[in-house]
Amino acid sequence: MAKILVTGGAGYIGSHTVQFLLRAGHDVTVADSLVRGFAHNVPPGLLRQVDLTDTPSLIPLLDGVDAVIHFAAYIAVGESTKLPELHFWNNSAGSISLLNAMAQTGVSKIVFSSTAAVYGTVDVSPLPETLPMAPENPYGESKATVERILDWMDRCRGIRSVRLRYFNACGAEPGLGIGEEHDPETHLIPLIFRAIESGKPITVFGNDYPTLDGTCIRDYVHVSDLATAHLAALNWLSSGGATGAYNCGTGHGHSVLEVIRAVEEATGRTVPYVVGPRREGDPARLVADATRLKTQLGWTPRYTDLREIVRTAWEFEQFRLARRSA
Ligand code: UDP
């Protein structure tokens, strides 16, 4: 059993990881500003409401902590292009503040939520970690900056890190009442559900990409598999593993139209959609080469079928709607 501080544990991936940490018997504290996260995602008694840029308030939370899992961040790419300073402050400065507090308290292990967005647009598929980081939006840059700082924190301060570069997180762990909910919602699968519920068509962002059906291809990875990747990363660091970056995806890509079809098959409902223009900054194809995570850290994703993944997301959607009308 280890004592783990989870920043951003009231968010989507963070709250799932907290559940898996608890199941594994760890002692968990959640630090979350609740600006984007939800208190209802955190089991009673674990939540400390704190802003990561407030370094002094982090010091007591790090007392006796073995490792930090650092999710807290703003994630909307569109927002980051309009308000880059917000993303650099919250994501990069917040991380520096956390690392400052870790250095002061002697906590020397951190698992960091990074993103496929650090690669930018590359004509390679699947993407290996050996590609250079070349983000194309402030969100990706805010994460790439922290990745580089983490390297220096290891070299100069002995703080070792695992950076998990998430591809497209989706789905929900069944039966927990936690899942993907953002405000405003910008992600594909929840927006497809909204289209089913409202009858208002979702817009497919472009069908003139150089892919089989012309729509963008992404690597949709189940959030519970992302959660277990964090436990594998903790094990790696606890057993003396070196600092490194790891892609977190299934290695299989699906187009937007394939996702729509999978939702129709999983839910038995028709998805109304229209095709619109491309969304700025969307690469045609982002698929992970996750060999390093599987072979070095022993990660085995449980979910391989997109329809099954979507079914778990749909189950959470029913829960969310029931909670809203309760
Ligand atoms: N997408 C879409 N319509 C929407 C939202 C998303 O066609 O209303 C597409 C988007 O262009 C991308 C994929 O769905 O190819 C996944 O987008 P999302 O925003 O969920 O995640 P991202 O890949 O941007 O991290």
Is a pLDDT exceeding 80 seen at residue 69? yes
Note the maximum CA span of the chain.
56
Look at ligand 1, atom 21, and give the residue with the nearest C-alpha.
187
Give per-residue pLDDT as tens, 294-325. 999 999 999 999 999 999 999 999 999 999 89
Atom of ligand 1 nearest to the CA of 286: 23
Q: Is the pLDDT of residue 281 over 80?
A: no
* Confidence band for 271, pLDDT divided at 50, 70 and 90: very high
Query: What separation in Å is there between the alpha carbon of 246 and the centre of ligand 1?
Result: 22
pLDDT class of 283 with cuts at 50, 70, 90: confident
Ligand 1 center to 262 CA (angstroms): 15
Name the burial class of residue 318, with classes exposed (0-12), middle (13-18) and buried (19+) by CB atoms within 10 angstroms of its CB.
exposed
In which band, very low, low, confident or very high, does the pLDDT at 142 lie, cut at 50, 70 and 90? very high
pLDDT band for 282, please (50, 70, 90 cuts): confident
pLDDT computed for residue 77 by the predictor: 87
How many C-beta atoms surround the C-beta of residue 283 within 10 A?
A: 19
Torsional class of 202: left (φ above 0), alpha (ψ -120 to 50), beta (otherwise): beta
Query: How many angstroms is it from 293 CA to the middle of ligand 1?
Result: 25
For 157-220, give the DSSP string.
Answer: H--EEEEEEE-EEE---TTSS-----SS---HHHHHHHHHHH-PPEEEE-S-SSSSSSS-EE-E
Tell me, what's the pLDDT at 68?
98
As a whole number, the mean pLDDT across the chain is 96
When pLDDT is cut at 50, 70 and 90, the band that residue 225 belongs to is very high
Average pLDDT over residues 72-77: 94
Residue nearest to atom 19 of ligand 1 (CA): 187
Question: What are the residues facing 28 on neighbouring strands?
Answer: 4
- Choose one of 186, 217, 218, 287 to mutate for the ligand 1 pocket test, by most ligand atoms within 8 angstroms of C-beta: 218
Sign of CA dihedral 47, 237, 100, 74: negative
What is the structure's pLDDT at 184? 85
Select the more confidently predicted residue: 158 or 183: 158
Q: What is the DSSP letter of 47?
A: E
pLDDT for the residue numbered 217: 96
* Residue-level pLDDT at 119: 95
pLDDT band of 326, cuts 50, 70, 90? confident
Which residue has the least CA distance to atom 18 on ligand 1? 187
Instruction: Name the residue type at position 237.
Output: L
For the chain, percent of residues with pLDDT exceeding 70:
100
Mean pLDDT of 1-5: 96
Residues with a known catalytic role? 139
pTM recorded for the entire structure: 0.97
For atom 10 of ligand 1, which residue has the closest CA?
205
Q: How far apart are CA 51 and CA 35, in angstroms?
A: 9
Question: So what's the pLDDT on residue 320?
Answer: 94
Q: Which atom of ligand 1 is nearest to the CA of 217?
A: 15
Q: What is the mean pLDDT of residues 152-160?
A: 98
Evaluate if residue 132 carries a pLDDT over 90: yes
Cβ contact 140:113 at 8 Å: no
Please state, for a pLDDT cut of 90, what percent of the chain lies above it.
94
Taking only the tens place, the pLDDT of each residue in 24-47 is: 999 999 999 999 999 999 999 999
Instruction: Give residue-wise pLDDT tens across range 181-191.
Output: 988 888 999 99
The C-alpha angle with vertex 59 and arms to 58 and 61, in degrees rounded to 5, equals 65
| Cβ atoms within 10 Å, residue 264 | 16
Name all domains of the chain by residue range, CATH numbers in brackets.
3-170+220-248 (3.40.50.720), 188-218+251-325 (3.90.25.10)
Q: Measure 192 CA to ligand 1 centroid, in angstroms.
A: 10
Tokens of 211: 């892919």
DSSP structure class, residue 89:
I
